[in-house]
Structure 1
Amino acid sequence: MSKSLIALAPTPTFDALAYRRAAFDTVGEALDYAALGEKGMNFHDARADLVRAYPYAELAADARVRALRLLADGVRPGDRVALIAETGADFAAAFFAAIYAGAYPVPLPLPTSFGGREAYVEQIATQLRSCEPKLVLSPEGLFPMVEQAAAGLCPAHDWTPYFAVPSPVTDLPEAVKTDIAYLQYSSGSTRFPHGVAVTHEALLANLAGHAYCMEAGDGDRVVSWLPWYHDMGLVGCMLAPLANQISVDYLATEDFARRPLSWLTLISRNKDATLSYSPTFGYDICARRISASIDVKERFDLSRWRVAGNGADMIRPEVMQAFVDVFDAAGFKASAFLPSYGLAEATLAVSIMPLGEGIVSDLIDERTLSGSGGGRTDKRQPTRFRAIVNCGKAVPGLTIEIRSEDGVIVPDRKIGRVFVRGLGVMAGYFRDEEATRAALSPDGWLDTGDMGYLSAGSIFIVGRAKDMIIINGKNHWPQDIEWAIEQLPGFKAGDIAAFAITTPSGEEAPAVLVQCRTTNVDERAVLREAIRSKVRAITGMACVVELVPPRTLPKTSSGKLSRSKARSQYLSGEIQPFDVAA
C-alpha cells in the first residue's frame, strides 16, 4: 500500500509505562523515561488535521544524535544554543539536543504580524547579544532574517542541513539537578532582555507541583496552540506533558491566529483531550468568532475538557462567562475553568485554583484600588466595584507574601507587592547581577513586580506595579481603562494602550493610544469624544486621546501589549497619531 494512503495515527493517550509525576533530577532524565513508553507529541495543521506524530522515543533518539553534532561543533556544557521556537519536531529535537549536550537552549520568538522585518531582526539581535550563544539555529523560512540578526554576534545555521552532517559518537555530558536547564526570555518589558535562568531542579519541582494541582496523570491528554518561546507554551505545554508522560496535540500559534476555532475543533475531534490552557484573549476570540450560522452543538464537543486553564494575562470574568454562554451547547462546563497566576521568573506556576471551582470573583471597591480609602465625599456618587479573579493558592513548594512599598507584610485583603519564595524560583537573570539583585533577595524572595492581595490563602492579582497610573494621589489600573474602551464597537484586546503623561501645563493626565480603522474625519471626532467620555466615567478626569493607525502599538514577544514601549514611542515621536483635523 502506498505510504500516502496510510492514515497517520497519533501517539496514544494510554500506554503500559508506569506514571511518574515529574519525579526526575533533570529534564533529560525525564525525556529518557518518557521514551520508554509510546506517548509523544502530535503536530496538526490549520484545519486541525494530524501531519506528524512524534513519539517521545523518537524525540529522544533524534535529540541524542543532534547532541553529537553540537559537541562536534565545539559546543560545551554551559554554552548557549539559541533556537527559533517554531512549533514542530525540529525545534523540540534541537532543544533537547542542547539539553543532552549540557548546553542551555534559549528559545527565541517567531516574527509577529506587527513590526515588520527590521523590528524582528533587531529583537533577535538584542536577545543574542544578551545570551551570547555559541550559535543560533533557525528553520529555513526564517533563516535570512536570523542570519542578518546574528551577523557579528555568532554563527547562524539552518537547522535541517546543520543536523544532517554526520558526527562522531562520543559520551554525552551528565547533568546534575542544580545545573541550568535553559534560559527563558520573559515576554514583559520591565527587565527585557534579561534571560531567566532556570535549573533542572526548579523546573521539575514546578512541573510536579503544577501537575499535582491539576491532578494530571495517566489518561490525560493536552491540546495547545501556545508559542514555545513563552513560558506557558514552553514549560506548561511542552515540558510539563513530557515530564508527566502525557501525549499532547499541537496547533501552531500562527494557525490559531488565522483560524482560532481550529483549537476547539482539535479538542472536539480528540475524544481523550482533557487539558488545555489559554490567556483570556484566546477564549475571547473564539467566542467572538461564533456566528448565528454556526451550530455549536453540531460542530464542537467540549464535554471531556476538564481543565480549561486561564493565565498569562488579567483574567476577565465577563470574557469567560461569554465563552460559557456560547459553548455551553457544546458541553463545555464553567467548572472546567482553572485560573492561575505565574511568571517566567518562577519557572511557570505560582498559584492555581482548586479544581472544579471555575471563575470565582471578589468585588473590590475601586476606592481601595485607587488608594483613596475613606468614605465618599459626594454621597450622590455610586460606589463602583471591580471584579478581581481568585487565582488560587500557592503550588506546593512555594510561599506567597504581600508587602507594602516599605517591605512590611500586609494583612489579608490589603493590596501590596507580590513576593514569592521556594522551589521553582529562578536562579537569576543570566549574566546580570544588578537585575538579579533588584528582583531576588539574598534569602530567595522574588519581587514579581505585580500588585495583589491575599484572602484566606488565595492570591488576587490587580495589575503590574510598573503600569499603574497615579493621578492626584489616586491609582488607576490601565487594564481597566483599556477594557472599558474595548467595550465600544469595533475594538478588541490590544487596540488600546493607556498610560500617564505630563501635559504642557505640567499636570499628570491619563493618555490613551487607540488603533483606529476608520478614515472618515467626522467618525474619528465622534470616536475621540466617546473614548473621552468612557475614561472620564472611570477616572473622573479628562484624558488625552490619540488615534493611531492599525498595527501601530508595540507588543512583547508573546504578543501582549507593551504599555511602557508604547508610551516611550509616543513621547519620542516614533508613534505618530492621526492629525485631529485630518
Structure 2
Amino acid sequence: MKVLPTRNSTLALQRAGFACVPAMLDYAAKGETGVTFYNAKGEQLSALAWREIRERAQVVARKMIGAGFAPGERLLITADTWPGFFDAFFGAQYAGLLPVPVSIPVGIGGKDAYLDQLRRQFAASGAVAAVGLDDLAGYLADAAQEFPAVRLHGGMDVLYSLPEKPVDLRPLGADDLCYIQFSSGSTRNPHGVQITQRALMANLAGMVGPSGLGVVEGDRAVSWLPLYHDMGLIGFLMAPLSTQISIDYLTPRDFARRPMQWLNLIARNRGTISYSPSFGYDLAVRRGAAQVPADLDLACWRHAGIGGDMVRADVLERFAATFEPFGFNRKAFIPSYGMAEVCLAITFCPHDTGVRTDAVDRTALAEAQRAVPAADPGDDHKSRRFVICGRVLPGHRLEVRDSEGRVLPDRAVGRIFVSGPSIMPGYFGEPEASREVLSDGWLDTGDLGYMLDGEIVVTGRAKDLIIVNGRNVWPQDIEWAVEAKRVVKNGDAAAFSIDTGEGERVVVAVLARVSGDEARVTLARDVAGAVREAIAVDCDVALVPPTLGLPTTSSGKLSRARTKANYLAGLYAPKPAAA
C-alpha cells in the first residue's frame, strides 16, 4: 500500500480562498497529497490522492446527470468513513446536487429508532435518492417506502452501476448551496441546516488562517470524527482539502474499540493537527493508557483541538499527565467553540496557550448569573471552573445578551449570539424554525456564557438549565460531581429535571454496571450522596441497564432530552426503595 506524502512537491500551499468546494478539489488534485483509511488494528485499508478522489467523483457525477437527476435535488448519504462517501459527496458537488450526510446506526437495539430517524430526515430534506454502505441498504429501502419521490436507493453499487454518459458536468458554484447538515440533537425533530458555499468558504478561511489553526506547509491531519457531524465533515475533510494537506482516518467505531490507534496514527505518520470532544481524550486515557507502546512519540502534535461538547479541564489535565512522558505538549490544546448553524467554528483560543480556566463563585453564578472570581479556586464546593474558549473569528461578531436583548458586560452570564458570513441562511424548508433563531443577521445559539477580556466562556445550554428553588443548576455540574467521586464512569450519568407539580425535581440517570439488589441500592445511594455533597440538592436516581444505555445525539453527545423522555416513558427503573 502506498503512503501518501505529507507535502506536495510542486503545488504551492493555498490556505483557503476558493469560491466553492469543486474549486478546492480541482486545485488539490494538482498535488500528491490525499486521504488514507485505516482499521482498528492500524492497518491501511486504502489510500486516495486528491486527484483520484476528483476523478472518481466526476465519474459518479456524469452517472447521476445521465440518470436524469436535476440540479438542486437532494442525495441522502449514510456518512461512514470510507471511499464511497467521498464518491457520493463530491460526485453530487460536480453534478449540481445537494448532498445530505446522515449518521449510521449507533448503540444496541436501535433499528427502529434509526429507521424513524431516517424517515424524518427523508421528510425534512426531500431527498430523491439515498446511498451508503451495503450493510445499510435495507434500512434505506425500508425508510424510503413512505416517500414516492425517492427513485434510487441502496449501496454504492446503485450509483456505480449507472451508465456513464458523455454529459457536461454542472458543478455547484459560489452562489449555490453546498449541502444540508442535520444539526446534532435534532434526531427527533431534525432541522436541516443549509450550508452555502459562501458561508463554508468564509468559515474555512477563518479556521485555517492565523486566528484559527494557522495551517502551514507540512501539516498533516488525523481524525476519527464522524463525517456526518460538522466537526468531522468541515474540520477534518473540508479544512484539510482547502489547504491541500493529507488526512489519516479511523472510523468512529474503530476509535471506540481501540482509542490508542488514534494516537498511534498521529505518532506513526507525524500528524500535526487532530481534534476531539472531551470524551475522546477521556476514552484515550481510560482505555488506552494501559496499552501505550514504549516508542510512542507525540511531539509532532502541535494542535490538539477540543470542541463539540463542553470542554472539560479535568479530562484534558489527565490526558496531558498521561501522555506528556510520550512527547505530548499540553500547550498544544486549543479549546474552541462552534455549531452547525455557523458551519462549524465560532471561536478559537490562541496557539501555544493550552487550556486556560476561570474559577468562579458557585453561589453568585447560580443566584445572580454573575461569574464572580472565586475567593478560593481550589474549593470545588464553593467554586466552579470553566474553560475559556477564545475569540470570535475575524469578520464575525459575538455578543452575550440578557433576556431583554441587551448586551451584557464581562462576567455577566447570558445567551450567546453570533453574526457574520458563516451564518446559515436558515433551516431547509422551515421558515418558522429559522425565524426562531435568526434575526437581523444574528443567530441565537441557544448557549449560555459570559465574556472575559474579549474571549467567550461557555457555561452550558439554555434549554438544559435546571432551576431548583430559584437557583440555576447546570446539569454538567451534577454529572461531573457523580463522575468525580468515581461512582460511575465518565459519560455514564445524565442529569435533568422534571416538573412534579410542586416545583422542579432533579433526576440523575446512571448506567448500572452492577448486579444484585444490594449493589444497586449502594450505587443509587452513592450517586445521591455525591450530588447532595457537591451541588447541595436532593435528587432521584434512575438506574439504567447497560443494554439500554444512555441515548446520544447523532454526533455522540449525551442527549439529556431523550434521557428525560425515556425516564418519563417508564423505560428506566426507579431507585430502590432503600436508597
TM-score by length of 2: 0.94
Q: Does 1:325 align with 2:321?
A: yes
What is the match of residue 238 of structure 2?
Answer: 239
8 Å Cα contact 1:8/1:51 also seen in 2 = no
Of stretches 351-360 and 516-525 in structure 1, the one that deviates more from structure 2 is 516-525
What's the RMSD between the two structures over aligned residues? 2.1
Cα distance in 2 for partners of 1:222, 1:512 equals 38
Q: Secondary structure at the match of 1:133?
A: coil
Alignment of 1:383-402 (within 5 A): 384-402=382-400
What is the match of residue 522 of structure 1?
Answer: 518
Cα distance in 1 for partners of 2:185, 2:230 equals 11
Alignment of 1:136-535 (within 5 A): 136-153=130-147, 155-189=152-186, 192-212=189-209, 213-271=212-270, 273-291=271-289, 294=290, 296=292, 298-372=294-368, 384-441=382-439, 443-489=440-486, 491-503=488-500, 506-535=502-531
Which deviations, in whole Å up to 9, do the C-alpha atoms of 1:483-527 show, x marking residues without a partner? 111224362233211111123x62311111111011211111111
* Alpha-carbon distance, 1:538 to partner: 3.0
Of stretches 183-192 and 245-254 in structure 1, the one that deviates more from structure 2 is 183-192
Alignment of 1:17-36 (within 5 A): 17-36=11-30
Letter in 2 for 1:107: P
Structure 2: runs of 5 or more not aligned: none
Cα distance in 1 for partners of 2:192, 2:573 equals 32
Q: Secondary structure at the match of 2:294?
A: helix
Structure 1: runs of 5 or more not aligned: 1-6
Which deviations, in whole Å up to 9, do the C-alpha atoms of 1:213-267 show, x marking residues without a partner? 2110321000000000000000100111011111110011111011111000111
* Alpha-carbon distance, 1:576 to partner: 4.4
Q: Secondary structure at the match of 2:498?
A: strand
Identical-residue share of aligned pairs (%)? 43
8 Å Cα contact 2:187/2:554 also seen in 1 = no
Cα distance in 2 for partners of 1:470, 1:74 equals 55
Letter in 1 for 2:279: F
Cα distance in 2 for partners of 1:9, 1:373 equals 53
Cα distance in 2 for partners of 1:374, 1:216 equals 37
Cα distance in 1 for partners of 2:354, 2:200 equals 26
Over 3 Å counting, the alpha-carbon distance change for 1:490 and 1:231 in structure 2 is same
Q: Secondary structure at the match of 1:339?
A: strand
Cα distance in 2 for partners of 1:247, 1:431 equals 36
* Alpha-carbon distance, 1:170 to partner: 1.1
Q: Does 1:84 align with 2:81?
A: no
Cα distance in 2 for partners of 1:222, 1:498 equals 35
Q: Does 1:103 align with 2:97?
A: yes
TM-score by length of 1: 0.94
8 Å Cα contact 2:418/2:442 also seen in 1 = yes
Alignment of 1:536-555 (within 5 A): 536-550=532-546, 551-555=548-552
8 Å Cα contact 1:552/1:575 also seen in 2 = no
Given candidates 11, 14, 25, the residue that maps to 2:8 is: 14
Q: Secondary structure at the match of 2:360?
A: strand
Q: Secondary structure at the match of 2:419?
A: strand
Letter in 1 for 2:220: R
Over 3 Å counting, the alpha-carbon distance change for 1:125 and 1:299 in structure 2 is farther
Cα distance in 1 for partners of 2:371, 2:360 equals 14
Cα distance in 2 for partners of 1:382, 1:543 equals 19
Over 3 Å counting, the alpha-carbon distance change for 1:375 and 1:37 in structure 2 is closer
* Alpha-carbon distance, 1:368 to partner: 2.9
Letter in 2 for 1:248: I
* Alpha-carbon distance, 1:578 to partner: 6.5
What is the match of residue 126 of structure 2?
Answer: 132
* Alpha-carbon distance, 1:305 to partner: 0.2
